[in-house]
Structure formats: structure tokens, C-alpha cells
A and B are shown apart, each in its own frame.
Chain A
């Protein structure tokens, strides 16, 4: 048995300096420029020398086996230094240029793609889905795998006009903040929670359940002398917060849950200002394990964009230039009443000019 040790709290994370590659320490704040040697391989140069970063994909939902494989490669080629990017890629930090090719070969043998730099589709930012989440309308890891299997070629190359940032969120709580991505897949519930009136009084605290609704759609009521709740279906936006506190209000609906597709958001300030994603396709069915409808829809948008956008024009910038009618025209996506906003400030999205292209 472990001996009793003093319980530590509030120590915070370790200081990052102990994890920095020696070249990162020496060039800290003094880097001069960087180059892309090939897709997935960056070279950053400062007075102390050049550091090579080799970037590869990861499933993000990764086992300790996968991480140990990565650390093993870092030990073999990168003096034990590696990092993760904000989009869940792994980066090996190499001082020796001659290690790039052997590392790439080892990664290729493990079937791990190298890429994700510049005008590529980088790894997908995504949420937990059916792997871990109680309110998910779809799976996230499976969708990502199915989509990226079709788009791996865009990860390992830089042949797009500009980068495409993909995101997947499994319900509108959007833990992955997909609202500013070039293309986002968003899981949607389309029906309010079903109330199990028989068990609710025993399972749930009524005040807590009422308070859990962000839209005040839940009210207490009495059925056969027992206190339960009702949901104002017009107010419900299917967030699942009530199910969080009350298991007698399941939201999952296999018949109606599915995914929606959103386009044209961006975060960087390059050229244009950051933009929200906008609705492209309001509903596609959940069709595991490979979600062919969603995969085809994303691939179609990517290919139409790739064929039509100018160099360094992001998805949203391209659509702004050609106009939304043409976007729907070129992609063959149907424009429906669901594309018309009806929430707060909906009017700001209505066109108030004669600027139409014919």
C-alpha cells in the first residue's frame, strides 16, 4: 500500500519551461521566420538555429496506447519533445532535419497521416457524442472519422484555396463552439423531451427541474395528485439541460435526431473580420456507422469551394463575394424556410437592397 502523503491542492499546472525543447528556450521570443518545407512539416528559424515541427493527425479520443506510441516516436526522433495543437494534432519537435524522413516513415507505417498545415483541412474540433455525452443528438468521433476518411487527401496536401476549419458538435450546446468554423456539423434534436409522468415524481426534484430550463419552458403541474412538470413545446429548443437533472425527461429520439450542416464561419482576423457559421442544410438523418448523407454534403461543399474560390479566400469570404443565392445554386443545396432566421435580431439577416445577381 502507498504510504500516506501530504494532500496537495491548488498547485496549478507544471511550469511549461521544463517541457520546452532546448531550441525553443534559446529562441524564445526571438524567432525570425518560419517556412513550410512540405505539408505537415514546418521549420521555425531563430539565431540559435532551426526547429522542425512534424504534424500528424490524431483521433483525439486517444488511448494511453496511442499516446505512448507518440511519446515513443518523440523519444526516437525528437529528444522526447512533443506538443499538441489547438486542433488536436500531434507535433514532434525536431532539432535534426535528418530525422524528418524516418519519422514520417514510421508514422506512415502506423497509418497516421502527416499534414494539417496552411491551406489544408486540419483535424476536426469536436465534442463527445454518444461516447460520453448525455444530451448528444449524434456521435461525434464516428462522424469525424467518416468525414475525414473522405477528406484525408486534403489533410495531407495544401491544394485548397485557403484553410478549411471543420468542427462537429453533437447538440446545440456546442461544447466545440462550432459557430465560427468554415464547415460545421451540428447534431440536432427536433422534438422536446418526453415526460415519464409515472416515474418523474420519484426521480426528480421539481424546483431543480423547473430551474434547469434556460428558456423557462418547464412548469410544475399536477397529474392524479402527483406533482410533475409540463414542457411548453413552443419554447423548447432541445438543449437537454432538463434531462441533466431529471432522468425522467429523456430527449433522445432515434426517429428524429440527426445532423445539420453550417458554413462560412471563421476566427482569424486575416483580411475579413471573424464570422459566424450560417445554416446550409437544416437536417440530414443520423445514419451510423458512416453517415453517408452528411459525408457527401460536406465533401460537396468542399469541392465546390475548392473549384470556385480565389487563392487565400476562406469559405465565408468566398460566399460573401459570390452571394448566398449563388452558393445554394453552385452546391445544389435546397433553400428552405428553415434558413430564414426567426430568433432575436432575425431582421438583421434580411436583405434590404436590390443587390441581386441574375
Chain B
């Protein structure tokens, strides 16, 4: 019963204008002993300034090596409701779009089989159903699949791909993020559910360089929409902005990172050959400017959080690839990268760390990619070059004969 819920520290977090997770969990405490004990254990954490959870290791549903995170209370006798508190990751739809009906069905399942608590959504993108016991895992899974849902990834697998809303609600989408996200998720179901890699592999898709899903910071493979040709200019719309007194010099011309815009109250010209597609001008003048027509994606690899060798932001590996169905070129690239990483990576080595260890040149050679100046900030500044081509003595003589 929730009558004996004594959580004075947590109740401090019911005050204030921001939505309170404490009030929200409390609203479940009457019908869910899991929610009540979660609050009790959390109150103890707030008193003692430490967590009371243990990692679970081996739980899951038959056949899958990912999608469930085992978790146990370190104080099961004191808080039996959360003695098991496993997490179920449910693969979200592209762009996190839902209907009330679909979402309510999932809530019904979770009220029946779990704590009734969720994260909408987890860091990787999944719907996170937070807190159930081992016996409920298979029934939860079956109930979800009957309604058309499946689990997401965890462990050393391809993690649940995620994408921005893209062409479904954004004029800047340079390729169909929603479709590609669905395509990759379906294409690689085996890699998603059965961990077979050295470590996790995240794929995130953003429709333009604004990168609303943070792919460049948070995914092993970032697929970011880009265009190659000229920014589209609607002169009438531009004139309308100017008529409204828009400060074109301060807010656009002076902020262009390559200084490729010449503009005044009457006209705007862009030197597209020098434009780095940063989108600042387009974002300031959304009715007048739009990405070009020759669209595709740029692909970067290797972003990750600090463990083990330090945090990384993704490095560019493909300056431009067309992103059209059935995405064969991309599938092919992904599979070549996985194969080389699989064969030569170490346990718990993310792709970004792997590339640093084996060297970018070695990585490119083994994945069939050519070195390009777009891949670096600048060429090397040290002379420790490991030359692979040189003349043997005879060749040298032959050369000097010429």
C-alpha cells in the first residue's frame, strides 16, 4: 500500500514549475508496488547519497541477446518490489511518431506486465519500459510482438537505429531519413537481436547538417543529409524579409563561416562553390533559402562517449553518397566495415577507437575506400611516414639510366 510512503526528500521535487517525475511515479504507487518501492529505495539513495542497484547480466527473451537490461536492487529485502527491476527496450518507430491508439496499447501491456514506468525515450532512441521481473519478460515480449512491436538492441549488437523526422515534417530533409531508418532496422534484424560484434554499433540518421538526432556525437555511423549544388533562392520571399527590416548583414552575411554571401536590402548572392552547407543562412531565412536539389548524405564514423579511449565526434568518411532505395551502396559499405572490424577489432573496441588504432589509411584500404582530403582537417605535420613503395637497388639503377 502506498499509505506508508514516506519520502520527504523526494517530495521536495514535487515543487516548482517543471514536470515532476516524483509526482508522476507517485501517481502509480497505489496500483504498483514496484513504483512504490522504487520511490522508497530512491528516497534512501537521496538520504545516503548513493545508488542501490546491481547489474543483472543474464536476462532476456529466448533467442535474443539484446533488448533487455537486467537490474536488481542491492537491498531486495528492504524493497522487495524492486528486487528485480529489468528494463525492456522497445524499438521505436522512425521519427518517434505515434498514434494515441498504438501508444495506449503499449501502456496497457506495460501496466499488465511491468511497473507502469517508462522513459520516452532512451538515449539510443528506444522506448524504454522500466522495471519488471524475469518471469514477465517473455509474456511482455509476446504481448508486444502480437501488437506489431519488437525489442531494440543492447550489448555488442547493432543498436536500434534512430532518425530525425525528416521529410515527414521538415523542408530541409536531404534524403528520406524515416525510410532509411526503417530499412536498416529491418535489413539488419539479426545484427540487432544477436550480438555478434566487438562492441555496440549505433547508426543515426539526420536529414540535414543541423543533425537533430546528434548523430555526429552519438553514433558509430552518422548519416547526415547534404546537398551538392546551389542553395535555392526565392527572390520574392527574400524581398519580403528585407521589407520587414531583417538585419541581413549582422545576422547572415557576417555570420557565414566562409564569407561566401554577398547581400544587401535588394539582393542576395551566394558563392556556392565556397559554401560548407552549415545551414545558418537557411535557418535565418527559411522562406527565402532552401537546400539545393542535388541531394544525398555524408557519412561519418566513430562518435562515442568516453569509455575506453576518450570521447569522439564522428569523422567524415564519405563526403557524398546518393541515398535512394534500395540503398545497396550503403548496405554494402556497412557490411564491409562490419567485416573488417569484426575480424580485427578487439573486445569492447568501438569503430572510432578501432580506426585510430589500426590507422585511417589501413581502415580505408581494407574497406575499399580511397583517401580524400575531405577526411582530414589538414594533412599530417609529422614526417614519420611508413613508405610502402620504394625502389630496390636494381630499380634505382634503371631509374638513373633514364
Residue ranges of A at the interface with B (Cβ–Cβ < 8 Å): 5, 7-16, 18-20, 24, 27-29, 31-35, 44, 46, 51, 53, 57-68, 70-72, 74-75, 80-86, 88, 90, 93, 111-113, 125, 127-136, 139, 141-142, 144-146, 148-149, 152, 155, 169, 172-177, 179-180, 211, 214-215, 239, 241, 243-245, 247, 252-254, 257, 265, 267-272, 274, 276, 286, 288-290, 311-312, 343-344
Q: Given contacts A5-B142, A58-B120, are A31 and B169 in contact (CB under 8 A)?
A: yes
Q: Are A215 and B308 in contact (CB under 8 A)?
A: yes
CA distance A53 to B170 in the complex (A): 12
Q: Are A61 and B103 in contact (CB under 8 A)?
A: no
Q: Are B185 and A71 in contact (CB under 8 A)?
A: no
Q: Is the interface of A mostly helix, strand, loop or mixed?
A: loop
Quick one: which of B196-248 are within 8 Å of A by CB?
209-214, 216-218
Q: Given contacts A13-B149, A62-B120, A269-B279, are A68 and B104 in contact (CB under 8 A)?
A: yes
**Residues on B with beta carbons closer than 8 Å to the beta carbon of A271:** 255-257, 278, 280
- Which segment, of B89-97, B329-337, B386-394, faces chain A? B89-97
B402 nearest CB across to chain A (Å): 45
**Residues on B with beta carbons closer than 8 Å to the beta carbon of A276:** 311, 313
Q: Are B307 and A57 in contact (CB under 8 A)?
A: no
The residue of chain B having its C-beta at the shortest distance from the C-beta of A213 within the complex is B308
The residue of chain B having its C-beta at the shortest distance from the C-beta of A177 within the complex is B218
Quick one: which of B93-147 are within 8 Å of A by CB?
93-104, 107, 110-111, 116-121, 123, 130-131, 142, 145-146
CA distance A31 to B166 in the complex (A): 10
Q: Are A13 and B169 in contact (CB under 8 A)?
A: no
Residue ranges of B at the interface with A (Cβ–Cβ < 8 Å): 9-10, 12-13, 15-22, 24-25, 27-28, 35, 38, 42, 45-46, 48-55, 57, 63-64, 71, 74, 85, 87, 91-104, 107, 110-111, 116-121, 123, 130-131, 142, 145-146, 148-150, 162, 164-165, 167-171, 173, 176, 178, 182, 185-186, 189-190, 192-193, 209-214, 216-218, 250-251, 255-257, 276-280, 283-284, 286-287, 290, 303-311, 313, 347-348
Partner of B120, one of A28, A60, A80: A60
Q: Are B118 and A33 in contact (CB under 8 A)?
A: no
Q: Are B54 and A247 in contact (CB under 8 A)?
A: yes
CA distance A125 to B57 in the complex (A): 26
A273 nearest CB across to chain B (Å): 9
Task: A241-B307, A270-B279, A290-B12 are known; give 5 further A-B pairs, CB within 8 A.
Answer: A11-B148, A82-B100, A173-B305, A270-B280, A288-B45
Q: List 30 A-B contacts (CB under 8 A).
A: A9-B63, A10-B189, A11-B150, A13-B93, A13-B149, A16-B178, A28-B167, A31-B170, A62-B24, A65-B24, A66-B27, A80-B99, A81-B97, A84-B120, A86-B213, A111-B17, A132-B87, A132-B130, A169-B305, A177-B218, A180-B214, A214-B308, A214-B348, A244-B55, A245-B57, A252-B51, A254-B50, A257-B50, A270-B210, A274-B313
Partner of A67, one of B9, B22, B103, B176: B103
Q: Are A44 and B13 in contact (CB under 8 A)?
A: no
Q: Is the interface of B mostly helix, strand, loop or mixed?
A: mixed
CA distance A9 to B157 in the complex (A): 16
**Residues on B with beta carbons closer than 8 Å to the beta carbon of A35:** 286-287
**Residues on A with beta carbons closer than 8 Å to the beta carbon of B251:** 311-312
Q: Given contacts A176-B123, A253-B50, A271-B280, are A64 and B107 in contact (CB under 8 A)?
A: yes
CA distance A139 to B10 in the complex (A): 12
**Residues on B with beta carbons closer than 8 Å to the beta carbon of A10:** 150, 189-190, 193
**Residues on B with beta carbons closer than 8 Å to the beta carbon of A93:** 169
